Amino acid sequence: MQNDDVKQRLPARGKKQIDKKIFLLKGEIPVRTDAEEEYLLRAVDAFKRRLCVISPDFQILAVNFTTDVAVGSDIIGQHCYKVFYDRSTPCKNCAVTEAVKTKKPALRPKIDDAMDLGMLPCLYSYPIISDGKIDAMVSMDFDLPTQSGLQEKLERSNAFLQNLILSAVNGVIAADRKGKILFFNDVASDLLGYSVEEALNDLNIRDIYPGDGAYQVMKKLRSEEYGNRGKLISYFVDVASKNGATIPISLNASIVYEGGLEIATIGFFHDLREELQLKEELEKTRIQLFQAEKMSSLGKLAAGVAHQLNNPLGGITLYAKLMMEDYELEEGAREDLHRILKDAERGRDIVKELLEFTRQTRQLMRPNDINHAITRTLFLLENQALFQNIKIVTNLSSAIPPVYSDIQQLNHMFMNIILNSVQAMDGNGELTVKTYNSTNENWVCIEFSDTGPGIPKDVLPHVFEPFFTTKEEGQGTGLGLSLVYSIVENHGGNIKAWNNPGNGATFQIDLPLQNTDSGDHQDGK
């Protein structure tokens, strides 16, 4: 019988023999009492995992009583792979085979092919050696299916978490207490310009924040003021990219604690540049709207006043002329009447401007050549005394298509801007006029730059306001640029003014390229 064969191969289980072979300690031979042996055996049985002694050719020599298969003399001598796994050959990744080969304890080799988790072979095996030869093998099964399942699950959930953070839309960076980077996802890499590898090997969290930024973040994290202690919520801060650019970010960060001690910090952040730009544009639009509203109410008021002024001005002109024709006047009186007539004419011009400003004149919209309109305006102005020492540089793109517009208004608009520039330069300097297509080709841009003193910071926000002037009384009405603004608006365009980096000011007008094919068209009241 198989069982008897196995027993014959075994050394007799005498107490002395076991003492000598296994329990030699510092040269002494420890003596074990029967009670001690009994307890040891019971301990092995009480050990809630399978412990099995097998021969190097896989026959079961002994098992503890906690094994999940029925223990009895019928399994002794049988092959472990048959009894425990119902296999006809030894398991593929058997730790026993490994331990027999190396004569050393062996763990089940790493399983890389997809196996039935419930069929995983034993985890751990070690040989019992005497006189350099293997007497038997111990094989331990640490409830393998469950453990591998857990391990597998843990690995899977770790990979999932890692993947989750890696694919976050936010930048994610974790660092240890010394600032060494522990985690750096692709978004952080794209934003800051460091490769993930570079960040993990060479970067310190302090390098990411300009100045004492990292210190400030830690200080806030540790204070109670910015969320709970250890947390920082929606904190706006600048970071520095690898190429030295400063990037504003919104940061949510927290300290990672272990046993009450700080061990790391983790930050989730996003780039604020687009958001800030959008805000800035919104603010600009809000100001423009406000401006437009103000212009509209002032415009109505001005239109009313202009109409009312027209009659008395007509009266003054008429009676002054009659007096000059009908009466013999002294030279002094004639001169005074001339003055009255001149001022009345000036009054009429202002009224005309006011009416134009409030669109009380008819508008004739048609496709116009902007370059031609500019050249014509310049031609009219160039010969005036004020332009004697002004160098005019034109850089007009021949690629710009006609713009659907009112030519009178265009001329008026260009005239106002050019006159302002020349006045600002006090008749001495350079005026550059540029036209070009915007990058998206839907707009025509016109730029006027001068080399004058520029527009003072406190004046700049008001230049398009009606009646705003810095010129002396009688020199300016404060209506020129507000009229320009209103014309640009009328054409669906935009106007901006800024100071040049060196000197002087620039006015940029963008006019939309639309409806150019709809032919002549009357607009206005």
Among 71, 381, 455, 511, binds ligand ADP (CB under 6 A): 455
Backbone angles phi, psi at 251, to 5 degrees: -115, 130
End-to-end CA distance of the chain, in Å?
121
Q: Is 299 in the site for ligand ADP (CB under 6 A)?
A: no
Which among 208, 200, 160, 168 has a CA at the least distance from the CA of 184? 200
AA identity, residue 27: G
Among 97, 170, 405, 482, binds ligand ADP (CB under 6 A): 482
Least distance (Å) between residue 479 CB and ligand ADP: 6
Which CB atom, from 166 or from 419, has the smaller least distance to ligand ADP? 419
Q: Is 265 in the site for ligand ADP (CB under 6 A)?
A: no
By CB under 6 A, which span of 197-205, 366-374, 396-404, 472-480 interacts with ligand ADP?
472-480
Interface with ligand ADP: number of residues (CB under 6 A):
20
CB-CB contact of 388 with 499 (8 Å) = no
Least distance (Å) between residue 339 CB and ligand ADP: 22
Q: Residue 457 has which token pair?
A: 């910071």
Pairing verdict, β 428-437 and 389-396: parallel
Q: Is 480 in the site for ligand ADP (CB under 6 A)?
A: yes
In order, the DSSP letters of 51-65 are EEEE-TTSBEEEE-T
SS3 call for 75:
coil
Which among 298, 221, 210, 205 has a CA at the least distance from the CA of 255? 221
CB-CB contact of 173 with 267 (8 Å) = yes
Which CB atom, from 247 or from 309, has the smaller least distance to ligand ADP? 309
Least distance (Å) between residue 477 CB and ligand ADP: 5
Q: Is 450 in the site for ligand ADP (CB under 6 A)?
A: yes
Q: Is 481 in the site for ligand ADP (CB under 6 A)?
A: yes
By CB under 6 A, which span of 117-125, 312-320, 437-445, 464-472 interacts with ligand ADP?
464-472
- Which helix (H) or strand (E) element contains residue 29? none
Name which of residues 379 to 438 contact ligand ADP (CB under 6 A).
Answer: 416, 420-421, 424
How many other CB atoms sit within 10 Å of the CB of residue 456? 9
By CB under 6 A, which span of 163-171, 263-271, 275-283, 471-479 interacts with ligand ADP?
471-479
- Which helix (H) or strand (E) element contains residue 141? strand 133-141
Q: Is 148 in the site for ligand ADP (CB under 6 A)?
A: no
Where residue 492 falls (left for φ over 0; alpha for ψ -120 to 50; beta otherwise) is: left
Among 2, 470, 503, 518, binds ligand ADP (CB under 6 A): 470
Q: Is 487 in the site for ligand ADP (CB under 6 A)?
A: no
Q: Is 477 in the site for ligand ADP (CB under 6 A)?
A: yes
Distance of CA 74 to the CA centre of its chain: 71
Q: Is 476 in the site for ligand ADP (CB under 6 A)?
A: yes
SS3 call for 234:
strand
Q: Residue 396 has which token pair?
A: 């007009």
Residue with the CB atom nearest ligand ADP in the bound state: 480
Which positions touch ligand ADP (CB under 6 A)? 416, 420-421, 424, 450, 452, 455, 459, 463, 468-471, 476-478, 480-482, 505
